[in-house]
C-alpha cells in the first residue's frame, strides 16, 4: 500500500535565507513570514525591534504523487476492462438466448436437443400421429427417465398420446420410429397405444380422444460471433 503524506506546516523562529531566496519561496507558497513590531516600555531612547516567525510548508514528494497517479490510472484501466468483459458476456448470453429460441418452431419447447409440441386439441392415436408427421415430427419418442420427467412437468393435466404402440398385449412395445422399448419404466394397462397420464405411461384403446405430444430433433447450431 502506497503511503501518501499530506502537507505539513512547521513554525520556526526566523528564516535563515537571503532576501531574494526568501521572496521567491514566499511567491511559490513554500514559506510564510509573520513579523511583529515591539518596543520596550522602559526604553529611554524609544528603541524598538522586529521579530519574525517563519512558517515552512513541507509538501509531499513528487514520488508520492507519481505513486498516487499510478494507482488512480491502474484503477481506471481495471474498471474499463471489467466493463468491457461484462458487455461482451451480456452480448454472448443474448446471442445464445436468441439462438436457442430459433432452434425450435414457434410454440415448441426445446429440451436436450429435441423440440416438443403439446397439443391443445384432442384426437385419437392415429390422427395425432398424422398431425405430428405434417410438422416433420412424430409422436414423442422418450429415451430416458429424465426426458419423461421433463414432459410430466410441462404437459397439462390431461392425458397425452406418445409414440409408443404394440399390435397386441402379447407383443413388445415399439416406438413409432421402430425401436424396441427397453422398459426403463413400466407401461400400465393392456391397451395397444400408450399415453402419459399425470405420473407415468399407461395404455388404452387407440381410438380414445386425447391430447398429444410431438417431438423432433432441434435444428443444428451455427454460431456467428460479432
Residues with Cβ within 8 Å of 54's Cβ and at least 6 positions away in sequence, in order, are: 11, 12, 13, 14, 15, 31, 32, 33
| Highest-scoring range by mean pLDDT, 12-16, 73-77, 86-90, 159-163 | 159-163
30 and 23 in contact (C-beta within 8 Å)?
Answer: no
Which candidate, 150, 206, 146, places its Cα nearest to that of 176? 206
Instruction: Give the per-residue pLDDT at 80.
Output: 86
For 109-217, which CATH superfamily applies? Mannose-Binding Protein A, subunit A (3.10.100.10)
CA 123 to chain CA mean position, Å: 43
Which candidate, 179, 169, 177, 178, places its Cα nearest to that of 206? 169
Every domain of the chain and the residues it spans = 8-60, 61-102, 109-217
Helix (H, G, I), strand (E, B) or coil at 50: strand
Instruction: Give the per-residue pLDDT at 53.
Output: 57
Instruction: Give the per-residue pLDDT at 18.
Output: 61
Global pTM reads 0.53
Helix (H, G, I), strand (E, B) or coil at 18: coil
Report the C-alpha gap between 78 and 192 in whole angstroms. Answer: 67
* Predicted confidence band of residue 56 (pLDDT cuts 50, 70, 90): low
pLDDT digits (tens, 9 = 90+) for 185-222: 889 999 999 999 998 999 999 999 999 999 999 875 44
pLDDT digits (tens, 9 = 90+) for 155-172: 889 999 999 999 888 889
Report the C-alpha gap between 211 and 159 in whole angstroms. Answer: 6
Instruction: Give the per-residue pLDDT at 185.
Output: 82
How confident is the prediction for the chain on average, in pLDDT?
77
* Radius of gyration of the chain from its Cα atoms, rounded to whole angstroms: 44
According to DSSP, residue 123 is labeled B
CA 148 to chain CA mean position, Å: 30
Instruction: Give the chain's end-to-end CA distance (angstroms, integer).
Output: 41
Which candidate, 5, 226, 216, places its Cα nearest to that of 115? 216
For residue 154, the surrounding DSSP H or E stretch is: helix 145-154
Between 2 and 103, the more confident residue is 103
Amino acid at each position: 500500500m502506497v503511503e501518501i503524506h499530506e502537507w505539513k506546516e512547521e513554525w520556526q523562529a526566523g528564516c535563515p535565507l537571503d532576501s531574494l531566496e526568501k521572496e521567491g519561496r514566499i511567491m511559490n507558497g513554500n514559506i510564510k513570514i509573520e513579523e511583529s513590531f515591539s518596543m520596550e516600555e522602559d526604553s529611554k531612547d524609544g528603541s524598538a525591534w522586529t521579530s519574525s516567525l517563519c512558517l515552512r510548508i513541507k509538501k509531499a514528494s513528487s514520488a508520492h504523487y507519481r505513486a498516487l497517479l499510478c494507482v488512480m490510472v491502474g484503477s481506471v484501466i481495471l474498471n474499463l476492462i471489467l466493463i468491457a468483459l461484462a458487455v461482451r458476456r451480456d452480448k454472448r448470453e443474448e446471442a445464445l438466448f436468441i439462438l436457442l429460441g430459433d432452434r425450435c418452431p414457434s410454440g415448441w419447447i426445446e429440451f436436450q436437443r429435441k423440440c416438443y409440441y403439446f397439443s391443445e386439441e384432442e384426437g385419437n392415436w392415429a390422427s395425432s400421429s398424422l398431425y405430428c408427421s405434417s410438422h416433420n415430427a412424430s409422436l414423442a419418442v422418450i429415451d430416458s427417465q429424465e426426458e419423461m420427467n421433463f414432459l410430466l412437468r410441462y404437459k397439462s393435466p390431461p392425458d397425452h398420446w406418445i409414440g409408443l404402440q404394440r399390435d397386441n398385449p402379447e407383443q413388445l412395445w415399439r416406438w413409432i420410429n421402430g425401436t424396441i422399448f427397453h422398459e426403463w419404466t413400466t407401461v400400465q394397462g393392456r391397451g395397444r397405444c400408450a399415453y402419459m397420464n399425470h405420473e407415468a405411461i399407461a395404455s388404452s384403446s387407440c381410438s380414445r380422444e386425447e391430447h398429444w405430444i410431438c417431438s423432433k430433433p432441434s435444428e443444428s447450431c451455427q454460431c456467428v460471433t460479432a
